[in-house]
Structure 1
Amino acid sequence: MQLPVVGTLFQEAYYVDDLERVAAAWSESLGAGPFVVSPHHRCDRFDYRGTDAQADVSYAFGYLDDVMIQFIVQHDDTPSIYLDMYPDGPPHGAGFHHIGILVEDFEAEFDRLVDAGFVCATRLFADNVDAAYFDTRSITGGFTEIHGSPVHIVDTFARWRESHRRHAPGGPAIIPRVRPASN
């Protein structure tokens, strides 16, 4: 079965036991990064399988060539899409979790996946953008995230990608997250 999503694959995500260690390893061995960390991320709206219980998670975002790499660490034992896949933690400290697809019409793509029979495990709204995670483990070996593409988020991703292009070997694996000033 083909995933019925119209969009652009932009991200590979991994569930990890230590953001800093894994970011440093990817930076040193693959030239990925630098990574921007979002510690203890909170959403404005959140639904995990019919509940609003948000796990305490931190993220690191960086690029390897033109693909965004995301690392996720969960700090508690709240049920989540991460523990759905790795109830005993990530094997060897890191494991593939999901792919991300950037979509122009979030609601249409959400409906398209639901109509095709895929289960939405998590839907959220954060940083003024919608995202949803569908359980596609039977097809992809992980979840599939659809992610809205408003201008501010596309611009943020472009800044992170440009940081990667300028990233010198041996440079810092993690850099501070800089948010543009509000008008």
Structure 2
Amino acid sequence: MSRIFGAVRQNGYVVRDIHAAMTHWIEVMGVGPWYYMDRVKTDWFRHRGQDSAVEMSIALANSGDLQIELIQQRNDAPSLYREFLDAGHEGLQHMSYWSNDYQTLYDKALGLGYKVGHEGQIGGDKGRFAYFNTQAHPGTIVEISDISGTKGPFFEKVRQAALKWDGTRPIREVGAKA
């Protein structure tokens, strides 16, 4: 438990091949089902204060209450994901803390001296996220994410699916017919 951000709710892995990563988590780790989004549409995205047209694919699954996120950046647009890969890393890149009062947590972090590395929004004004420049070594970036909008119920759907997953339909494409 972080005295600043609360409980870690998600570990985010930046990978070069999201399909190979899902297969690993399914077959080796026994984690699933995976909710896969081929091209995530952001409302806006900024890297170090500058607009960036990042394109990415994301997959989500849970292991207990911890959500596992896989991210594959699909272009060379500036982002902390690209910086992580360009540094020769692949794997755990961030830990995410979720909030129903995002702005208060965001302001608190800034007030404590945290600097935004990249930030954006998915699914409207209650879908913001920010990654802070906290990487002392790979895997230690702090993300905060607003779950007061559509992300919250979706994340709960992913968690519930994992609780009763029997190994069938290990990859479920979001937006495809159920």
Shorter-chain TM band: 0.7 to 0.9
CA–CA distance in 2 between the matches of 1:76 and 1:146?
24
Number of residue-to-residue matches in the alignment: 174
Q: What's 2:107 paired with?
A: 111
Once the two structures are TM-superposed, the CA of residue 143 in structure 1 deviates from its matched residue by 1.3
Q: What's 2:122 paired with?
A: 126
CA–CA distance in 2 between the matches of 1:117 and 1:4?
15
8 Å contact kept, 1:48–1:54: no
150, 156, 171: which one pairs with 1:174? Answer: 171
TM-score (norm 1): 0.85
User: After the TM superposition, which segments of 4 or more aligned residues of structure 1 sit over 4 Å from their partners?
Assistant: none
8 Å contact kept, 1:135–1:143: yes
CA–CA distance in 1 between the matches of 2:10 and 2:98?
9
8 Å contact kept, 2:54–2:78: yes
Q: What's 1:72 paired with?
A: 71
8 Å contact kept, 2:92–2:138: no
SS of the equivalent of 1:138 reads: coil
The residue type equivalent to 1:148 in the other structure is D
CA–CA distance in 2 between the matches of 1:144 and 1:76?
23
Tell me the C-alpha RMSD between the 2 structures: 2.2
95, 100, 105: which one pairs with 2:96? Answer: 100
Once the two structures are TM-superposed, the CA of residue 30 in structure 1 deviates from its matched residue by 1.6
Q: What's 1:87 paired with?
A: 86
CA–CA distance in 1 between the matches of 2:174 and 2:73?
19
Q: What's 1:144 paired with?
A: 142
8 Å contact kept, 1:17–1:89: no
The residue type equivalent to 2:45 in the other structure is F
SS of the equivalent of 1:5 reads: coil
The residue type equivalent to 2:9 in the other structure is F
8 Å contact kept, 1:36–1:174: yes
Q: Specify every segment of 5 or more residues in structure 2 that has no aligned partner in the other structure, as ranges.
A: none
CA–CA distance in 1 between the matches of 2:78 and 2:95?
20
TM-score (norm 2): 0.87
The residue type equivalent to 1:86 in the other structure is L
Once the two structures are TM-superposed, the CA of residue 144 in structure 1 deviates from its matched residue by 0.9
Q: What's 2:24 paired with?
A: 25
CA–CA distance in 1 between the matches of 2:145 and 2:18?
22
CA–CA distance in 2 between the matches of 1:15 and 1:112?
27
SS of the equivalent of 2:103 reads: helix
SS of the equivalent of 2:51 reads: coil
Q: More deviation in 100-109 or 5-14?
A: 5-14
Once the two structures are TM-superposed, the CA of residue 76 in structure 1 deviates from its matched residue by 1.6
Closer, same or farther: CA 4–165 of 1 in aligned 2, 3 Å: closer
CA deviations on 1:57-87 (whole Å, 9 max, x unpaired) are 1111111121100001112211211122221
8 Å contact kept, 1:41–1:56: yes
CA deviations on 1:145-170 (whole Å, 9 max, x unpaired) are 1011215322111111111112114x
Once the two structures are TM-superposed, the CA of residue 178 in structure 1 deviates from its matched residue by 5.2
Closer, same or farther: CA 139–116 of 1 in aligned 2, 3 Å: farther
